[in-house]
A and B are shown apart, each in its own frame.
Chain A
Amino acid sequence: MTITTAATPARWRVKQPSIIPGFGLTLGFSLAYLSLIILIPIAGLLWRTAELGWSGFFSILSDERTLRALYVSFGTAFIAALVNVVFGTLLAWVLTRYRFPGRRLIDAMVDLPFALPTAVAGIAFASLYAPNGWIGSIFMPFRIAFTPIGIVIALIFIGLPFVVRTVQPIMEEIDKEVEEAAATLGANRFQTIFKVLLPGLTPAILTGFALAFARGVGEYGSVIFIAGNIPYVSEIAPLLIVIRLEEFNYAGATAIATIMLLISFAMLLVINLIQAWSRRRYGNV
């Protein structure tokens, strides 16, 4: 032991010289920042939940109202993300492939859900789709607002830019040669799009789906106006959390939050694994 110590040079350094300096500083800052913003709040959440003990946690988890709320939240977010994948990809296609007057305007409009206060969007949707609203009255007696369908519509609005903005840049990079190659091999437009172009976009579409889905699960502001918030039917989990908080049932609120956290985490993990797999196969995006 002493021999090895003696043999090593006296100037042992933690830092390897690097052409990109500041590793220690930036990593330290990143970790501190992540702790403050994400890790400590989540730890607090879990801490608060732990006060319930396993039996308390499971009784909240198995409560019919909690289960229905989770089902509504994840179900509507999932459907909305699916819808966004289809129409968001279509919208990205139109924006990248064609040059038409007003294209820039539409391109800018895509970001509107990012900027608009979600409550404003929720109120607008509620008044449009309500049974006596412009659009809602057309569909009567079929009700859109104050049902899970209304929630899906609000979540589609919220999630749209996530899909468009992840798919668009990848679509812009598609090599024209690839399409031409498909054409010289005899493929028609339909085959070129569905067999050549879209499979190449899969990783980007999956990312867009994951983002839109995650955003939809946590959405509160726009949904509560159009959902009707009927327990067991159109009550979303974030609203149930607020209700529990208003009842000063903090442990109950954090328990629901923890369950949402776990489900979201599991789903994002699965999506990330699919992405990693497709990246390994096809090379980087």
Chain B
Amino acid sequence: MEVRINTIRKEFDRFAALNDVSLDIASGELIALLGPSGSGKTTLLRLIAGLDFPTAGQIFFGEEDASHHSVQERNVGFVFQHYALFRHMTVAENIGFGLKVRPSASRPAKAEIRKRVSDLLDMVQLSGLENRYPNQLSGGQRQRVALARAMAIEPRILLLDEPFGALDAKVRKELRRWLREFHDRTGHTTVFVTHDQEEALELADRVVVMSQGKIEQVGSADDVYDRPQSPFVFSFIGESSHLPVEVKDGTVLFQGEPIGVSGQADTAGDLFFRPEDVVLTEERDALFGKVTASRRLAGTRIAEIDIANNGHDPYHVEIEVPLHAPIELGSEARFRPTRWKIFTK
């Protein structure tokens, strides 16, 4: 089921939680909504589900305008952050709930429900636990029960709110891989919300980076990491540093001095670069500053450098240097970005 979100807007007491957001989700896609808290990602997910209704704009499921359909009519599978399992029901009763509450015309027979529940338990690898109660399960198991329960109603799309947020790091990694396999096997259009960029980049076909109720960028993991389209995305995804620069006659000037980097149109803005995209150099045209700290990071070393700023607070940047580079605390380091992007102010 493809989902089309058309200039949607959501206000809570005049505060715009979502500001004219549009997004097309292809059928069978696995999409991550990534952003800091307050970016509107959960609001968007709830609007798709029908748990909230937009102030303006439409949501299409295929050709059908679902904007004003109730959550029951939309037939979506929703996995809540804290699973929201029914604690007075066994695992099997939880999973079968969506089938049992159907009107008698479309409700499957009891034996049929039992079979579906046991198939789903197989699928989420929890066979044998059907008579347990939720409080007798581990976090990862509850998570999978919640997923099986959402899948039982044969949803048109699957929505997950911070699906791994409440789990410890190891279980989170396992479940992440498992969810990817699960998605590839079932082929459901899936949207999940996360604030963990690693999770989003690893798991999703496309990542939707959100900030302050707006979509900053939509793209593959490579797109958002290698070709960030806004200062926010550049600094939110991965590590980065930035410096105010000017571009004049094809040269980038920092504090009026060339730094050995060429630019295009004349402009003034912020130069963004990642720690790994720099080289140390001896040449005159370069950025230079005092090494204030260095720390070992797996196979390389990260050096923190303060660049003097005419008596104001120094600019603080981080660069990655080879392990045996002659970088010592207090010494001067000269470097040039090899890949960078200038965002005009």
- Hey, which bits of chain A sit against chain B, CB under 8 A? 175, 177-178, 180-188, 191, 195-196, 199-200, 202, 278, 281-283
Contact = CB atoms under 8 A, between A and B. Distances in A.
A177 B80 contact: yes
Given A180-B71, A196-B86, 14 more contacts: A175-B84, A182-B101, A185-B97, A186-B72, A186-B75, A186-B153, A187-B72, A187-B101, A200-B88, A278-B88, A282-B88, A282-B133, A283-B133, A283-B135
Nearest to A281: B133
Contact of A199 (B76, B88, B102, B134): B88
B121 interface: no
B285 to A, nearest CB: 58
Given A177-B84, A180-B78, A185-B97, A282 B135 contact: yes
Interface of B: 49, 51, 70-72, 75-78, 80-82, 84-89, 97-98, 101-102, 133-135, 149-150, 152-153
Nearest to A278: B88
A196 B87 CA distance: 9
How would you classify the secondary structure of chain A's contact residues: helix, strand, loop or mixed?
A: helix
13 contacts: A175-B82, A178-B84, A181-B78, A183-B71, A183-B72, A185-B98, A185-B152, A186-B72, A186-B98, A187-B101, A196-B86, A200-B87, A283-B87
Contacts of B134: 283
A206 to B, nearest CB: 13
B59 to A, nearest CB: 15
Nearest to A177: B84
A185 B88 contact: no
Given A178-B84, A185-B153, A281-B133, A191 B101 contact: yes
Given A175-B84, A180-B78, A282-B88, A185 B149 contact: yes
Contacts of A191: 101
A282 B78 contact: no
Nearest to A195: B101
A181 B76 CA distance: 11
A176 B90 CA distance: 20
B24 to A, nearest CB: 23
Nearest to B136: A283
Contact of B51 (A183, A188, A282): A183
A177 B88 contact: no
A50 to B, nearest CB: 45
